[in-house]
Copies of this chain bind each other. A is one copy, B any other.
Amino acid sequence: MPSRTRADIPIAVLTDFGYRDHYVGAMKGVIATIAPATRVIDLTHGVPPQSIVAGALALRESWTYFPKRTIFLCVVDPGVGTDRAPIAIETRAGARFVGPDNGLLSLAANAAGIKAIVKLTARRYRLADVSSTFHGRDVFAPAAAYLWRGVALRSLGPRIGGIEQLDIDGPVRSGNRLKGRVIYVDGFGNLISNVDRDALAELIARFPGRSAWVRIGNSAPMRIIEAYGHTIKGALLATFGSFNLLEVAVRDGSAAQQLGASVGAPLTVITRPG
């Protein structure tokens, strides 16, 4: 690893603003004005509109791949303009998070180990005019840029004791099966479920010698395999994907389309001999 200076620490940005409008561009303009030497990395701006769950999952699965002191500037904010608090978080792992206190930051921040949280109220670290509809530009981008410049977390506003948690309930075991559901559909049409590796391992441990299969609704059972490539074009398969969650995919196609399934669809893991 090379030695690091502040210039090496990026600001990574995650939003649901999409790519059609100038909203993300304006946020980057604000960062470039306050902290011109910052490197800004787009984590994604394609979070489905207002989907706090999808944003929180994307952040949880990607923050560990960034440099240690990265500042994550995250805006999926259906409550903008109401009294949900704008916050910034420092963690034991080094990562810093800036965004609305609505659960969006909770999965990643918990995993990184929360050290301190502040409510972003200091006027000098916001834009002079704060709109009621665009805190990404007027409140969150300035906070991230000033943090990057070395402004102390406590200068951004008063400490608060905790953050909103996001509840993503896990699957429920019932006899020799796990009952889960689709919680996210990615850009390829892959159906991502709430079944993690631990839940599957626990099921398999109870039924040694059996193998595990997956169904979406009443679909034909699919075997769980290691890699997309190990199957033929157009065939359905179940695997652990980039979210570290069990997902159903089609090689060179869209599982969502092929199965007519979307968020909320039941996913069942069953065990059977052989």
Q: Which residues of B contact A43 (CB under 8 A)?
A: 22, 25-26, 29
Q: Which residues of B contact A241 (CB under 8 A)?
A: 133-134
Mask for A168-202, Cβ within 8 A of B = 1, else 0? 00000000000000000011100000000000000
Contact between B229 and A62, CB atoms less than 8 A apart: no
Which residue of the partner chain B has the closest CB to A18? B187
Question: How far is A149 from B2 in the complex, measured between Cα atoms in Å?
Answer: 9
Answer whether residue A162 sits at the interface, using C-beta atoms and an 8 A cutoff: no
Contact between A66 and B33, CB atoms less than 8 A apart: yes
Answer whether residue A239 sits at the interface, using C-beta atoms and an 8 A cutoff: yes
Q: Which residues of B contact A19 (CB under 8 A)?
A: 19, 44-46, 187
What are 23 inter-chain pairs, A to B, with CB distance below 8 A? A1-B33, A4-B36, A7-B36, A8-B32, A10-B36, A12-B29, A18-B188, A21-B186, A22-B59, A22-B61, A28-B41, A29-B43, A32-B70, A49-B252, A78-B251, A80-B227, A81-B226, A81-B228, A132-B239, A133-B240, A133-B242, A134-B241, A134-B242
Which residue of the partner chain B has the closest CB to A48? B20
Which residue of the partner chain B has the closest CB to A30? B65
Answer whether residue A219 sits at the interface, using C-beta atoms and an 8 A cutoff: no
In the complex, the count of this chain's copies comes to: 3
- Interface of chain A, main secondary structure: loop
Answer whether residue A165 sits at the interface, using C-beta atoms and an 8 A cutoff: no
Taking the closest CB of chain B, its distance from the CB of A40, in whole angstroms, is 8
Answer whether residue A123 sits at the interface, using C-beta atoms and an 8 A cutoff: no
Q: A26-B242, A49-B188, A137-B242 are in contact. List 18 more A-B contacts (CB 8 A).
A: A2-B36, A2-B149, A4-B36, A12-B25, A18-B187, A19-B187, A20-B187, A21-B58, A22-B62, A25-B43, A25-B62, A32-B39, A33-B65, A49-B252, A81-B226, A81-B227, A82-B227, A133-B240
